[in-house]
Amino acid sequence: MLTIFVRSIILYIIVLVVMRLMGKREIGQLQPFELAISIMIADLASIPMTESGIPISNGIIPILGLLVMHLLISLLNMKSNNARKIICGKPSILIYRGRIDEQVLKKERFTVNELQERLRANNIVNLGDVEYAILETSGQITVIQKPNKRTTTPEDFNIMPEYEGIPYDLVVDGKVMNENLKQIGRNYKWLEKEAEKFGIKPEEALIMTVDGKGQIFCQKKA
């Protein structure tokens, strides 16, 4: 029992490292070759994890081999457009200039109801609002609405918003984020003064952030 437990931990760490090295895509955004490799890795890890009679190397070596394959295919994708089309395919336009392309729907084995479902996932409830709907190689659908249906932006009114930057975590669950303090050119003394405004010490904060305008958000731990 202990052997299986230890083997499971080792294989879990190996799989976790391999998946991290493969990149940060979400599952729904994996290319077909990435999804295939992910499934194979899971299968390879499960066998030596439960079968103590099988050497653990029988799982680790093939997993590392798949990682090498993934890196080579990814490199080939970056270097060659033709290889990218063969390995990943190319996007398909399901709706072109407001009209559903039935031939493309049949080719991609998409029903109109499935198309409507995907559009609703993009907050589009009316087919008539769509100018283009593109089925990406990852299986996601990108929707471009008709100009008169798109959400307005400040640029439409010739308004230039102030630069906002990105917010930084200063304290998370009582732990001071010293690297983030350095990023914004501040130190612990400054953090203490800001925390005092909320009647607490930095270590007493559940979360404390600062945005690009210098506004502080702080909540005390319960």
* pLDDT value of position 207: 95
Q: Give pLDDT tens digits for 95-142.
A: 999 999 999 999 988 899 999 999 999 999 899 999 999 998 878 899
Q: Which residue has the tokens 């471009």?
A: 144
Mean pLDDT over all residues of the chain?
Answer: 85
Looking at the predicted structure, is the pLDDT value of residue 73 above 80? yes
Looking at the predicted structure, is the pLDDT value of residue 28 above 70? no
Please compute the mean of the pLDDT values over residues 139-155 and round it to a whole number: 86
Query: What pTM was estimated for this model as a whole?
Result: 0.62
- Determine what percent of the chain is predicted with pLDDT higher than 90: 41
Q: Where are the domain boundaries for CATH 3.30.240.20 in the chain?
A: 92-149, 168-220
* pLDDT value of position 143: 94
Q: Which residue has the tokens 């630069």?
A: 163
Q: Which residue has the tokens 């996601």?
A: 140
Where helices occur in the chain by DSSP H, the ranges are 2-22, 32-50, 57-79, 81-88, 102-107, 112-121, 178-183, 188-196
Please compute the mean of the pLDDT values over residues 211-215 and round it to a whole number: 88
Which residue from 142, 212, 203 is spatially nearest to 174, judged by alpha carbons? 203
* pLDDT value of position 23: 66
171: tokens are: 């304290």
Q: Give pLDDT tens digits for 11-22.
A: 778 887 877 776
Q: Give pLDDT tens digits for 175-210.
A: 999 999 999 999 999 999 999 999 999 999 999 999
Sheet containing 175-176: give its strands across. 175-176, 168-172, 205-210, 216-220
129: tokens are: 């609002």
* pLDDT value of position 25: 58
DSSP 131-187: EEEEE-TTS-EEEEE-GGGSPP-GGGGT--PPP----EEEEETTEE-HHHHHHTT--
* pLDDT value of position 145: 94
3-state secondary structure of 217: strand
Kindly report the backbone phi and psi dihedral angles of residue 193, in degrees, each rounded to the nearest multiple of 5, phi listed first.
Answer: -65, -40
Report the relative pairing of strands 216-220 and 168-172 from DSSP bridges. unpaired
Please compute the mean of the pLDDT values over residues 85-96 and round it to a whole number: 86
Separation CA 78–CA 130 (nearest Å): 32
Angle at alpha carbon of residue 37, lines to 35 and 41, rounded to 5°: 120
Looking at the predicted structure, is the pLDDT value of residue 27 above 60? no
Please compute the mean of the pLDDT values over residues 43-68 and round it to a whole number: 82
Q: Is 33 exposed, middle or buried (0-12, 13-18, 19+ CB in 10 A)?
A: middle
Domain 168-220: top CATH class = alpha beta
Domain 92-149: top CATH class = alpha beta
More confident of the two residues 29 and 106: 106
